[in-house]
Amino acid sequence: MKAKIIGISSYLPSRVVTNDELSKTLDTSHEWIYSRTGIASRHVSAYDELTSTLAIEAAKQVLEQSEVRPGEIDAIIVSTTTGDTRFPSCACKVQGAIGASKAFAFDVNAACAGFIYALAVADSMMKSMKLKNVLLIASETLTKFVDWTDRSTCVLFGDGAGALVLQSSDDETSGIIATKLYSNGDEEKYNSILSHNGAQNDYRGYITMAGRSVFKYAIEYMAMSMHDILNENNMTMNDIDWVIPHQANRRILESLCKMKEFPLEKFVITTENHANTSSASIPLAMRDAMYRGIVKKGDTLLFSALGAGLVWGSAIIRL
């Protein structure tokens, strides 16, 4: 039995903030930001647009697209590091909003690697619990957690949500082929949310980042997980049609390809218009590539991401 993707959708807030707009309030410019990150603009949620708001809209779209009724959903898994509240979970809010009364619901928090973690959890639960349909959503509102006076962080992030419907299938030609997860808690200091006065126990603080260290670890750890998952499944990059990585920074991805000899032409990169949307970045990039006809049914995809924790991982799927 394979967990097969039968639908994918995305939802982005309507407000778009360009680099030029940021340059009016920050000591920066479009050229400075773009040359260092590959980001030109980002979607920013309104005050009353919560992480659950984005998740619910993406969920409604993907259910309509996949022709699965809310009552046919067995489980809802939401990957987020920016939940509306500590509790209840964002997934429970989605369940109530869409009327998926049969589903159990919970959140997964693995920062920017959260989508891959949630994918692995969904795949495992579908096999062990014999679930038929799982709604998997990655939704983030990171711009609510940035210090808009700090040009080293606020230019990097955007908001958005991506949603998938996974369905159990006996068709062995498509579905999730493999997932592989890692973590290293010794390196948790490189990304975190700190309060305005520096305390580590304020949920509503600002994002902080040790940029150079994260850059280095992203290249090393993502390359390691990609090599590992390919080797363990007797595959090479020749077997992969597209790599869809976490969209943190275009320079990271270009350096990854140059230093680790991966083919950049196989990488889907959407940082220019999405910025870093944390765990939502992979499904957003995948949906964008499918909409543009770049990624097609039958393609084999390799996902990879690293996030705060540190946590990282990779996954291989065939559409």
Bridge partners of residue 176, in order along the sequence:
317
The Cα–Cα gap between 8 and 47 comes to 26
Residue 246 is a catalytic residue? yes
Residue 92 is a catalytic residue? no
Q: Which of 19, 246, 249, 257 is catalytic?
A: 246
Q: Which of 112, 133, 249, 274 is catalytic?
A: 112
The Cα–Cα gap between 22 and 30 comes to 8
Residue 238 is a catalytic residue? no
Which residues participate in catalysis according to the annotation? 112, 246, 276
